[in-house]
Structure 1
């Protein structure tokens, strides 16, 4: 399936330690009331429903929601379990709120493509046109041992940011002296829990523009346009979007994406009145499943330092399906056109610079493996038909807490999986979901 934002092993350990210190004893899955009869989506997709029910029954996750659609048909929602492990927690459903982490990246990539459509950005335009600090970027010469650097061979462009080829780092990937500089300057655009956030906010920049300006002072890990490396590129892209659009990043996304698509449950900051449908996020520490960010006291109830274009959104399965439905429809939804068909086609095409390949990324940082993969604006792209029924051109990405999204533009299929636990690769949910959906498809179309 698709790659997702993840946490470094060190940060996972920090979160686990903070949470375990408050837990006596460590929680186990709570007894559950009998499950209700399957929803219509579950009756039409029985293998997927059985898979979800098994996850919940076996205590792997308190609850799970899937949204699957084809063409202009409304989504089929498959649900099981609750939004938290307590037996009294509400049932998980289409409007439950989930932390989508790196499934924010396709939204940011789409926002960038809207500005390309508007003529306010060009894919191969240097970002120093908007953030002057990037005019004199440098590249590390001995990354394992020092911050020694040389002038970069070329400028960073919009294309580089949206495809992770800018040469930027990520606190979950970068190592050595550069990682220490990222941490010293607060180049950590994401949040996990109230405990971790209290420390992160002390050093993190207070605005997108300050964040981008700090990033511009640091050397790159490679010349722009020469290497795919998971990065903070989509976070820096948010700062470019602000300058190019003349409004804040969150305002632009709200006006050009969420509002026209009727996405009413997508938040950078969750309103306190919505905590009753906000799922708890869990962390697995050994055999213990720890509630690292309960919905009622979540770090997302407070405004972030700035909107994180790479990992900042909380959304419902219904909302993310609307976004995917628009992509599958080449820019329209419900009679409203939010982008030209060619804009969406470009976004979901392979935008990697010449000579750069994307071979997948595994472990805690994701799980996409194999050949015949490219990269579009904020998500991976199949360059050939793939096992499991995905067509050439299928686009998607996932999140650190287990979420997944994909669009097959040939078959006009779309799918969203919502769960919240870390690490995302604790269970082979993505592989098992692909198999279950294939069985259901064969049943519906023998």
Structure 2
């Protein structure tokens, strides 16, 4: 998405969040053999140091692991500009859309247990989605016709359900989303120019019910369109599992994987580990969500399955290690091996292309981009505040990069992180 200097001066909702998932695997370059012989990671270290020295970021943490071994950690900077607390593996970062693969794999867990199926209509769990309608001309009106196909679990996982996103959608449907509180997450309690909050976001059940009453932007299964589908999937998971979505994640993923620093609401006791989030204005970092008064200290409207998590680098690395372990980590199995492997393959419906989208040139799996050709085996996604993570199941490598600034494409960290990793592993 092209960016003008004005985008850095007065960021809009779209500028802040529309790059939320871009590049998690896009920058991963093919390489015949990777080596951990030179474990100093000179490229990563120099680039991370430069980001902090030039004040492009207050603090940066990267974790690179081979197989299930403990990761190599490269870090620089502090929790906030002017703070003296250094960032480390336990520092808390807002990972935004890196929540999507977590939600995706939670669905794969249930698929592995036979509690839902990949091509099962979600109306089996949420009857209000049985008779959806599709917009005739999304740019002009909310006039619609009956959908020919029901939304399935596959469609939600792969952004092919025909749902919109307030950070992407335009026209009358955007106005309807905003009026109904159909928002993708939270950024700050500080008013931000160009970032209209819309109506209050309701609880997850009400969110799903309101969304069902609005038309789709495309026939389900026909178009890749970045969307609120992973948030809706959280509601499907609730019904299929009989547990509230956040409780399900904690009981079935976070606790078994010892992911003790993954939150939808950061406890007051953990503020000392929370970063400050920044907006890039005219090349300078302006705090928009200071840790001490962060919006993430409040209970959210619901656990946003598409963009709600705050995580430590250590926790997200453990999630990636579980993926490399085929659904198992430290002898504890959380997902059936066949289900986790399926979730990292291209699940796009036949005939759907990602050309011209955030996932251009790749397939899409359970909430994350899937590499093709030379990058086959790569699965991952990124977040609106610059975070990025992926696994390479062919070369048995995992990588997580954490920064905190918005929009994520204000600087090149999001796009370049994978290139730096490859450069060092080839060295």
Taking a change above 3 Å as real, the CA distance of residues 84 and 12 of structure 1, as seen in their structure-2 partners, is: farther
Q: In the alignment, which residue of structure 1 is the partner of 2:101?
A: 106
8 Å Cα contact 2:178/2:199 also seen in 1: no
Unaligned runs of 5+ in 2: 1-7, 18-35
CA deviations over 1:165-213 (Å, ceiling 9, x no partner): 00000001101000000000000030000135998485321x1111000
Once the two structures are superposed, the pairs formed by residues 188-267 of structure 1 within 5 Å of their partners are 188-196=183-191, 200=197, 203-205=200-202, 207-267=203-263
**Distance across 1 between alignment mates of 2:16 and 2:42:** 40
Q: Secondary structure at the match of 1:166?
A: coil
The answer to whether structure 1 residue 429 and structure 2 residue 413 are counterparts is yes
Q: Secondary structure at the match of 1:289?
A: strand
8 Å Cα contact 2:190/2:289 also seen in 1: no
**Distance across 2 between alignment mates of 1:133 and 1:405:** 35
Unaligned runs of 5+ in 1: 1-6, 16-39, 363-367, 387-391
**Distance across 2 between alignment mates of 1:287 and 1:320:** 29
- The number of residues matched between the two structures is 399
Q: Give the one of 364, 374, 387 matched to 1:385.
A: 374
Q: In the alignment, which residue of structure 1 is the partner of 2:398?
A: 414
Q: In the alignment, which residue of structure 2 is the partner of 1:288?
A: 284
Q: Secondary structure at the match of 1:91?
A: coil
8 Å Cα contact 2:382/2:414 also seen in 1: no
**Distance across 2 between alignment mates of 1:228 and 1:404:** 21
TM-score, scaled to structure 1? 0.86
The answer to whether structure 1 residue 178 and structure 2 residue 173 are counterparts is yes
| 1:326 CA displacement | 0.4
Q: Secondary structure at the match of 1:213?
A: helix
Q: In the alignment, which residue of structure 1 is the partner of 2:325?
A: 329
8 Å Cα contact 2:387/2:404 also seen in 1: yes
CA deviations over 1:237-284 (Å, ceiling 9, x no partner): 000000000010001100110000000000000001111110000001
**Distance across 2 between alignment mates of 1:143 and 1:442:** 47
Q: Secondary structure at the match of 2:373?
A: coil
Taking a change above 3 Å as real, the CA distance of residues 293 and 345 of structure 1, as seen in their structure-2 partners, is: same
CA deviations over 1:23-78 (Å, ceiling 9, x no partner): xxxxxxxxxxxxxxxxx999621221111001111111111000110112111111
| 1:430 CA displacement | 3.4
| 1:14 CA displacement | 10
Q: Secondary structure at the match of 2:81?
A: coil
Taking a change above 3 Å as real, the CA distance of residues 43 and 120 of structure 1, as seen in their structure-2 partners, is: closer
Q: In the alignment, which residue of structure 1 is the partner of 2:25?
A: none
Q: Give the one of 357, 360, 376 matched to 1:361.
A: 357
The answer to whether structure 1 residue 317 and structure 2 residue 313 are counterparts is yes
Q: Secondary structure at the match of 2:73?
A: strand
**Distance across 2 between alignment mates of 1:121 and 1:353:** 18
Q: Secondary structure at the match of 2:12?
A: helix
| 1:431 CA displacement | 3.8
**Distance across 1 between alignment mates of 2:141 and 2:170:** 11
CA deviations over 1:82-137 (Å, ceiling 9, x no partner): 11001x33101100000000000000000111111111101111111111111110
The answer to whether structure 1 residue 47 and structure 2 residue 43 are counterparts is yes
Q: In the alignment, which residue of structure 2 is the partner of 1:80?
A: 76
**Distance across 2 between alignment mates of 1:217 and 1:89:** 50
**Distance across 2 between alignment mates of 1:404 and 1:241:** 25
Q: Give the one of 128, 131, 134 matched to 1:133.
A: 128
**Distance across 2 between alignment mates of 1:217 and 1:405:** 35
User: What CA RMSD, in Å, does the superposition of the two structures yield over aligned residues?
Assistant: 2.2
TM-score, scaled to structure 2? 0.89
Q: Secondary structure at the match of 1:195?
A: coil
CA deviations over 1:411-439 (Å, ceiling 9, x no partner): 11000000010010011113432332223
